[in-house]
């Protein structure tokens, strides 16, 4: 009865694509805890204080039933003010929020045009939407405009959505956000910006790369709380009208148990920490510049962000190098298809404000050794 599953796993193993759960060990060059908030003493104290004032751990039901807690509403109000948006809606996870957004707002007859490298959570929503969907080559503005122009030529009333990430999770590069925003205005499109890896790190006070666009009637941004903010969940920032629509039509909001009120209190505290974390952002930028310099000496391309992919091509090569680095005390993972395109298996190295300069130098030396060894 279960033999097909066993065969599928064996096939993955033969192709060096079998995944397994592994523990946390070694110097962290793999997590998304970019500011080092996840183990912050300040967040622990904030949660202890929330428990002391009676904030419950569980919500007990959907927010449309008894699950709506004052902590949820206060968080959404504070997040709206912090990011500069009309309103916010809190979800339990970034993946769920992104899929909910794409599957709910675009309607039959609408179009969603998306960058080919958007996150799997966006693709999840694309698979559920009744709207038309079409992709454009990564960061190719001219191709995006061609698709918008073609659609608008025969669809003057339908809505059009553009889905992008501001900082791409596997390649570490940035979207040409101002150019895309200009196209969204020109073609009367709604711009959906996934700020997951920019939140906390980019923009004034860590408000993201779309911070200067916030408040525009055609902008929706998503800020995950489990990466640089160090907690969990996600906030969708949008016009109030669209928030009301989501509350009434989004199935994964209506029928899901509400996120933990205690975690909502944690996110509130994390946003306050984020606003005052210029020192941590400066420390992170210093580690980024340091690592960029080391990679350039190895003739490797750099992103200038906290996400640095090292493309190795073959799945087995990426897996073997990651395992070798783990044995030397670094927590680094291999990223293989289908997460990335065929032939682009890589090490995805992430940097954090918590890293010491010596940690970065040590990794640079280890990379130089292993790359030279495998090229010999």
Domain ranges, residue 369: 20-35+278-375
Is residue 154 a part of any domain in this protein? yes
pTM: predicted TM-score of the whole model, two decimal places: 0.94
What's the whole-number mean pLDDT along residues 180-189?
97
pLDDT value at residue 371: 87
Q: Is the pLDDT of residue 374 over 80?
A: no
Q: Is the pLDDT of residue 376 over 60?
A: no
Q: Is the pLDDT of residue 233 over 70?
A: yes
CA–CA distance, 158 with 290 (Å, rounded to integer): 48
Contact present, 161 and 107 (Cβ < 8 Å): no
Residues 248 and 295 reside in one and the same domain: no
Residues 55 and 177 reside in one and the same domain: yes
Residues 264 and 353 reside in one and the same domain: no
**Single residue among 224, 259, 275 that ends a domain in this structure:** 275
The CATH number covering residue 283 comes to 3.90.1150.10
Q: Is the pLDDT of residue 287 over 90?
A: yes
DSSP 237: E
Residues 303 and 318 reside in one and the same domain: yes
pLDDT value at residue 375: 58
28 - beta bridge partners? 331
The CATH number covering residue 199 comes to 3.40.640.10
Is residue 1 a part of any domain in this protein? no
Q: Is the pLDDT of residue 102 over 60?
A: yes
Residues 355 and 262 reside in one and the same domain: no
Please state the separation of Cα 221 from the chain's center in Å: 11
Contact present, 268 and 75 (Cβ < 8 Å): yes
Is residue 4 a part of any domain in this protein? no
Alpha helices in 116-260 (DSSP H): 120-128, 141-154, 177-186, 240-249, 251-254
Residues 214 and 258 reside in one and the same domain: yes
Structure tokens at 284: 């992170």
Distances (CA, A) of 351 to 40, 203, 232, 259: 17, 18, 19, 29
Residues 104 and 233 reside in one and the same domain: yes
CA–CA distance, 122 with 165 (Å, rounded to integer): 10
Residues 200 and 288 reside in one and the same domain: no
Residues 297 and 357 reside in one and the same domain: yes
Of all residues in the chain, what percent carry a pLDDT higher than 70? 99
Is residue 14 a part of any domain in this protein? no
Burial of 156 (0-12, 13-18, 19+ CB in 10 A): exposed
Instruction: Give the side-chain half-sphere CA count within 13 A for 375.
Output: 8
Of all residues in the chain, what percent carry a pLDDT higher than 90? 92
Q: Is the pLDDT of residue 363 over 70?
A: yes
Q: Look at residues 224, 202, 193 and name the one whose alpha carbon lies nearest to residue 32.
A: 224
Q: How many domains are there within the chain?
A: 2
Residues 244 and 309 reside in one and the same domain: no
Residues 333 and 215 reside in one and the same domain: no
Give the H/E segment covering residue 308.
strand 307-313
**Single residue among 229, 258, 275 that ends a domain in this structure:** 275
Residues 219 and 355 reside in one and the same domain: no
pLDDT in tens, 9-65: 999 998 888 888 888 889 999 999 999 999 999 999 999 999 999 999 999 999 999
DSSP 300: -
Question: How would residue 85 be classed by pLDDT, with cut points 50, 70 and 90?
Answer: very high
Catalytic residues: 32, 119, 165, 169, 194, 197, 227
What's the whole-number mean pLDDT along residues 278-294?
98
């Amino acid at each position: 009865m279960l033999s097909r599953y066993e065969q599928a796993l064996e096939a993955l193993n033969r192709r060096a694509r079998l995944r397994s759960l592994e523990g946390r060990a070694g110097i962290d060059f793999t997590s998304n805890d970019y500011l080092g908030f996840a183990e912050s003493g300040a967040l622990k104290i904030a949660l202890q204080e929330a428990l002391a004032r009676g904030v419950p751990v569980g919500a007990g039901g959907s927010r449309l039933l008894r699950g709506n807690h004052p902590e949820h509403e206060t968080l959404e109000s504070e997040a709206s003010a912090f990011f500069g948006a009309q309103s916010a809606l809190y979800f339990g996870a970034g993946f769920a929020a992104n899929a909910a957004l794409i599957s709910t707002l675009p309607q039959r007859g609408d179009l969603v045009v998306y960058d080919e490298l958007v996150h799997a959570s966006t693709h999840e929503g694309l698979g559920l939407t009744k709207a038309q969907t079409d992709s454009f080559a990564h960061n190719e503005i001219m191709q995006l405009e061609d698709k918008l122009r073609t659609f608008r030529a025969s669809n003057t009333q339908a809505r059009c959505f553009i889905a992008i990430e501001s900082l791409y999770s596997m390649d570490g590069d940035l979207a040409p956000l101002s150019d895309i925003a200009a196209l969204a205005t020109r073609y009367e499109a709604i711009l959906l910006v996934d700020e997951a890896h920019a939140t906390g790190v980019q923009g004034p006070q860590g408000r993201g790369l779309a911070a200067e666009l916030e408040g525009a009637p055609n902008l929706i941004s998503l800020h995950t709380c489990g990466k640089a903010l160090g907690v969990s969940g996600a906030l969708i920032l949008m016009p109030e009208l669209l928030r009301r629509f989501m509350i009434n039509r989004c199935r994964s909001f209506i029928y899901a148990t509400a996120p933990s009120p205690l975690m909502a209190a944690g996110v509130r505290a994390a946003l306050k920490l984020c606003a005052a974390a210029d020192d941590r952002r400066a420390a992170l930028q210093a580690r980024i510049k340091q690592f960029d310099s080391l990679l350039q000496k190895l003739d490797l391309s750099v992103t200038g962000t906290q996400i640095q992919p090292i493309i190795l091509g073959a799945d087995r090569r990426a897996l073997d190098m990651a395992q070798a680095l783990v044995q030397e005390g670094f927590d680094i993972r291999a990223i293989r298809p289908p997460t990335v395109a065929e032939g682009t298996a890589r090490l995805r190295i992430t940097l954090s404000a918590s890293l010491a300069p010596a940690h970065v130098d040590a990794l640079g030396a280890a990379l130089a050794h292993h790359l030279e060894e495998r090229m010999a």
